[in-house]
Amino acid sequence: DGGITQSPKYLFRKEGQNVTLSCEQNLNHDAMYWYRQDPGQGLRLIYYSQIVNDFQKGDIAEGYSVSREKKESFPLTVTSAQKNPTAFYLCASSIDLMGAEAFFGQGTRLTVV
């Protein structure tokens, strides 16, 4: 099945630890995105990538890092510098950045304990 897969679904992290969220797509899409969603709120853009080995900061990139070494993979690292990391993280992909439909993964719910 073609799609976008995020893992894990639930993640618990101790304060001060870095954690990496996985995002893989087999749709052959060039563009990939990471969004953060807080309870009862909309989606805020963390990072996006138009092509392999290239990525751009979104509106709330502080405390996060990404890499795009392969077309199908766009992992997100939540660093200890992120002051309030508990949230629902959504990865998405689209054919390109030119206004194409975005396909979302199932999301990862991160909780800092």
Partner 1 sequence: GQQVMQIPQYQHVQEGEDFTTYCNSSTTLSNIQWYKQRPGGHPVFLIQLVKSGEVKKQKRLTFQFGEAKKNSSLHITATQTTDVGTYFCAGPTSGTYKYIFGTGTRLKVLA
Which residues would be at the binding site for partner 1 (CB under 8 A)? 33, 35, 40-45, 48, 50, 56, 58-59, 90, 92, 97-99, 101-107
In the complex, the smallest distance separating the C-beta of residue 14 from partner 1, rounded to whole angstroms, is 25
Closer to partner 1 by Cβ: residue 50 or 80: 50
CA nearest to 60, candidates 34, 31, 91 = 34
In the complex, the smallest distance separating the C-beta of residue 3 from partner 1, rounded to whole angstroms, is 11
CA nearest to 89, candidates 51, 54, 50, 47 = 47
Instruction: Mention every residue, 6+ apart, whose C-beta is less than 8 A from residue 101.
Output: 94, 95
Closer to partner 1 by Cβ: residue 18 or 38: 38
